[in-house]
Structure 1
């Protein structure tokens, strides 16, 4: 699979490295060509560097590894290159006090869909710190990490589920893109519990056999 990466931060590094190891072709795009080149060199596996437009043009799947607030602006600038592409949003619109910044409007993923109406947007990979995505694989107590995936296009979902498996995780159907806001709200809740309370979020939900009584 050809994967374009918008952004040169930690999430771009962690996920793209895993995908390059799995044999995918990766091109990293950033505003700063030096940062893009350095990240491509760290990723290895033949990863290339480009500008944001070049990375968007390259990928069959494009990862928007961008902070909330910058994501829609960047995606809007390269929207012509994203027509009919799978666009993966891993951002979290979480502000001071672990507040969900999108609680009164569209989710971050929906804002990307509005910025690039020709793209097929999928929400995934937003519930974990980048260090989890660096694990080979992310397995806890003998169970692979489950990754919820939200989107409206079945072909796009199939591609993203394959990428979830390529990082050693198990994809979980999260519903349509209108449910992406629930994933973002879950991230806001989890981050607050982890950071402020030191809580074990994994302990919140009972085993499936007990979940419905």
Structure 2
């Protein structure tokens, strides 16, 4: 598959490197550091302009700071028509109400994926890969406590969701369909909450029982 990656940071390296290693064609478009990242990734990864990455990919990954989205989408929005666009971003800000020296975050924006979809309505926007840090996706470890690491996926276009699920499987991850794009804001909220727990030293996995113990009785 041809994958255009917009951005040259940690998420671009982790996901783009994994997909290139799995045999996908990867083109990185960024204002800086694209050549260095392509050389690091290897496996024939190429570089080009941001517009070239948008046009190259059947799937386009937005691996950008949220603050850069408006400018980039204004530049390339028309070139994303009909393409699957993966939004892995999170709009994190420090929680100023947290006790001093306790890492915690809040969202600066409640529904980034919805805004992207509204900005480029002819693209098929899918929210995925936003729950964990880039270092987790780059790691070779995929199974924890006998459970494969999962990727919740939100999107409205079934074919686009299927494409992203296949890309998750190529990274040896377990895709989970998490509903339409209107539910992506819950993924964004889950990320800001759990990442805050991890940064503060709490085990976020411990707040959820395994599936076989996650029973409830309807009221």
Give the TM-score category using the shorter length: over 0.9
Instruction: Give the Cα separation in 1 of the matches to 2:164 and 2:141.
Output: 17
Per the TM alignment, residue 138 of structure 1 is displaced from its structure 2 partner at its CA by 2.0
Q: Is the 8 A contact 1:72 1:111 kept in 2?
A: no
Question: What is the match of residue 99 of structure 1?
Answer: 106
2:165 counterpart (161, 164, 167): 161
Question: What is the match of residue 208 of structure 1?
Answer: 211
Q: Is the 8 A contact 1:136 1:167 kept in 2?
A: no
Per the TM alignment, residue 210 of structure 1 is displaced from its structure 2 partner at its CA by 2.2
Aligned length: 207
Question: What is the match of residue 6 of structure 2?
Answer: 6
Q: Relative to 1, partners in 2 of residues 1:19 and 1:172: Cα closer, same or farther, differing over 3 Å?
A: same
Per the TM alignment, residue 91 of structure 1 is displaced from its structure 2 partner at its CA by 0.5
SS across alignment from 1:209 = helix
SS across alignment from 2:153 = strand
Instruction: Give the Cα separation in 2 of the matches to 1:151 and 1:179.
Output: 8
SS across alignment from 2:19 = helix
Question: What is the match of residue 20 of structure 1?
Answer: 20
Q: Is the 8 A contact 1:68 1:91 kept in 2?
A: yes
Q: Is the 8 A contact 1:137 1:168 kept in 2?
A: no
SS across alignment from 1:190 = helix
Q: Relative to 1, partners in 2 of residues 1:17 and 1:134: Cα closer, same or farther, differing over 3 Å?
A: same
Instruction: Give the Cα separation in 1 of the matches to 2:150 and 2:74.
Output: 31
- Confirm whether residue 112 of structure 1 aligns to residue 116 of structure 2: yes
Question: What is the match of residue 54 of structure 2?
Answer: 56
Q: Which moved more, 1:69-78 or 1:51-60?
A: 69-78
Per the TM alignment, residue 95 of structure 1 is displaced from its structure 2 partner at its CA by 0.7
Instruction: Give the Cα separation in 2 of the matches to 1:143 and 1:193.
Output: 21
Q: Is the 8 A contact 1:28 1:50 kept in 2?
A: yes
Q: Relative to 1, partners in 2 of residues 1:175 and 1:169: Cα closer, same or farther, differing over 3 Å?
A: same
1:65 counterpart (44, 63, 74): 63
Per the TM alignment, residue 72 of structure 1 is displaced from its structure 2 partner at its CA by 3.2
TM-score (norm 2): 0.92
RMSD (Å), alpha carbons: 1.0
Which 5+ residue runs of structure 2 have no aligned equivalent?
Answer: 96-104
Per the TM alignment, residue 140 of structure 1 is displaced from its structure 2 partner at its CA by 1.3
Per the TM alignment, residue 208 of structure 1 is displaced from its structure 2 partner at its CA by 1.3
Which 5+ residue runs of structure 1 have no aligned equivalent?
Answer: none
Alignment of 1:118-129 (within 5 A): 118-129=122-133
1:181 counterpart (179, 185, 201): 185
